[in-house]
Structure 1
Amino acid sequence: MSSSDLQNLYQQVIVDHAKQKHGYGLRDDDAAASSHQLNPTCGDEVTLNLHPSASGGVASISWEGHGCSISTASASLLSDIVSDDSRDEITAKIAAFRELMQSKGTLDGDEELLGDAVALAGVSKYVTRIKCAMLPWVALEDALTHTR
C-alpha cells in the first residue's frame, strides 16, 4: 500500500469516528472517576468517565463533548482501545500516543498498542491540531489520577 493510500485510509478512519462516535454518551452508573477538559485555543471540550473492571482496572470509558473532527475522532478511537485494561496498560497507551503526537510526523505509531488511533499520526505535523487530538487522552490521564 502506498503512503498516499495509507493517508487516505487514515483520513477515512478519522471521518468515520467523527461521525459515528464510539463510546459517546456519559454513563454515570458505575463511573469511578471523571474529567472535564477544555482546549481554550479552539473551544473543543470533552468530559470523560472511567468505568472500573472487576480486576481494578478500567473496563471502558464513556464521554461527551464537542469540537472539531480530530478531537471527536480521538475520543472515539480512545474509547475503542480502552477495554479491560490495567492502569499500567492505559498509562503505556497514553505515553505512546503522546510520543506519537510529539513526533512531528516522524513516527507511525504502535498499532498493536494504539489500534486505529495511529490514524491520527499525521496530526503531529500540525502543531495547532495536536491539542485537539490530545484532549481526550489528557482527560483520561487526569481521570486516572482521581480513581477510587
Structure 2
Amino acid sequence: MPVQPSVAALIVAAGRGTRAGGDTPKQYRVLAGRPVLSYAVEPFLASSRIDHILVVIDPSDGERYGQAVPSSPRLLPPVPGGATRQASVCAGLESLASSAPDIVLIHDAARPFLTAGLLDAAIDAVAAGSVAAVPGIAVVDTIKLVDAADLV
C-alpha cells in the first residue's frame, strides 16, 4: 500500500471584506444560520486525508473565530494574518513549516462551497506529481428577461 502524503489545509480568513461593504467581514457573515467560515472549514474537517487545519485570522477577530469554528484536534490554533492576502498566506506557511507537510492546500475562507470531490482532486493531482493544482469548476451563466420595471 502506498504511503499517503501528509496534508495541511491553510485557510486564509484575515481579510476585512471592504469591497463587499458592511461592518462584518465576509467570512463571519451568516449564511443559512452559520458563519461563512464554518462552511469553508467543514470539508477539511470532514476529510480523513487532512492532517492539520490552520486558519489565518485578523488579530482582532479572535472572538468571532472562536464562535465560527468547532473544536477539533486537527484544527491548529489560529495565527495572525498580515496586511495583504499574500502576507497572510506567508504567515500561515511559516507557522506550518515546523510540521513540514508534504502538501499544503490554500483556501479562501469566504468560499463556502468547496466539495469533497474537488478537495480530493487537488490532493490527488499534487500526490501524483504535479507541482501545484488549482481546482475549479465551470461557470454556468443564466440569462433572464426583465420587463421595463426590471422584474424577472
Q: TM-score, normalised by structure 2?
A: 0.30
Larger radius of gyration: 2
Higher relative helix content: 1
